[in-house]
Every structure is written in structure tokens, then in C-alpha cells.
Amino acid sequence: MSSIEIKIINISDNPLPDYTTAGSSGMDIRANLSESSAISPMERILIPTGIFLEIPYGYEVQIRPRSGMAIKNGITCLNTPGTIDSDYRGEIKIILINLSLEQQVINHGDRIAQMIVQKVEKAIWVETKKINVTERNEGGFGHTGSN
């Protein structure tokens, strides 16, 4: 597995995002709150993290839900995966939604999402009048069967 250095500013008192295990691809990111935030069922909320990044050109950071929060509390991230572009310099904020039937509370320091560092390739469009045919071809949603 390769590594890349990324400059980070952390204005919170939370630890830096970190990999929990040697095989983890995502780093947990924590809420930076002055007071707890309650989220009603089906409510969306924007949670600050106190983290600012200088992502190198050619990379992005993706924000994804934490599976534990999803199964235990019905909390997930909207706009998933969220993309943080290399030229963004603002605070990382996480859009959460409560899909449970009960009010949920987010506290300062709660692990609310995970960050994945991803290399990005730029596309160069090549206009054409014909593209290759495949076995699937134009088969869309549900094309491969019901199971």
C-alpha cells in the first residue's frame, strides 16, 4: 500500500483522523461541537469537524458513512461518497441524516464519518460516432436479473 503526505490543520481538540487497523482504508473523522446536536427522524444536519486539508493535485478525499452508526443509530451521510476536491481549503463538514424513527444525538468527539484518500484520473473526451458493443450493451437497471 502506498502513502501520500497531506497537510492538515486541526482546530478541534479531537485527535487527527486515523486508520483504526492496519487494513483500514478509511480514517474516522469526529464531530467538533460546542454542544450536542439532536437530529430528528428524516432531519439533515451539517456537522463541523475542525479539520482543514491541503489535498495534493491529482487526489481527492471521499467522505463515507460509518457502518456502525448506520446499523445502530440509523445515521448516515448524504451525498455519499462526498468528494473533497484538491483545491478546496475550507473546513470539512459532514452532512448527516437520521433515517431512524427516533431522535438521535451527536456529541462532540463522536466518530461521524470516514475519510478515504483516492487518486483521481482526469478524463480526456474523444468524440466519436461509434463505441464498442458489449455483451450487456444497453441493458440498464436490473438487467442482470432479480437476484
- Of 47, 145, 55, the residue nearest 97 (C-alpha): 47
Backbone angles phi, psi at 114, to 5 degrees: -130, 150
Separation between Cα atoms, residue 104 and residue 40, nearest integer Å? 6
pLDDT, tens digit (0-9, with 9 covering 90-100), for 76-119: 999 889 999 999 999 999 999 999 999 999 999 999 999 999 99
Average pLDDT over residues 123-137: 90
Average pLDDT over residues 130-141: 80
pLDDT score at 37: 97
pLDDT score at 53: 98
Task: Please give the CATH number for the structural domain made up of 7-119.
Answer: 2.70.40.10
- Of 26, 19, 143, the residue nearest 80 (C-alpha): 26
Domain boundaries, the chain: 7-119
Kindly tell me if the per-residue pLDDT of 147 is higher than 60: no
Q: Where residue 136 falls among pLDDT bands split at 50, 70, 90?
A: confident
Residue with cell string 486508520: 19
